[in-house]
Amino acid sequence: MDDLEKDSAHELAELLKNGGMNCGLMTAQGFVFMRSSGSPFTDTPTMFNEADLNNAVALGLIEKQFVTGSFEWEWFVAKK
């Protein structure tokens, strides 16, 4: 991973932290979007791709969690 990829991963993690505690990142067709909880959920596209997300996980900036309930999905949240 080069410095530009690390910078993108850090920017993505910062975006997530600024989103608040009820936000997470999800992927669809290689793109990353931010999901905010509520009724209904709000999905906001980001300028990041799945490679940026994977780099942020590899750097230990974010982690995968599974959400269960009426619907089940996986999303990524800021590491505590």
pTM: 0.86
Select from 60, 43, 47, 38 the least CA-distant residue to 12. Answer: 47
Tokens for 17?
């932290």
Which range of residues forms the domain containing residue 73? 3-78
Work out how many domains the chain is built from and give that number. Answer: 1
d(CA 22, CA 5): 26
Q: What is the pLDDT of residue 79?
A: 85
The percent of residues in the chain predicted with pLDDT above 90, rounded, is 60
Sign of CA dihedral 4, 6, 73, 22: negative
Q: What is the pLDDT of residue 72?
A: 77
| CA contacts within 13 A on the Cβ side of 15 | 22
Angstrom distances, CA of residue 25 to CA of 3, 31, 75: 22, 10, 5
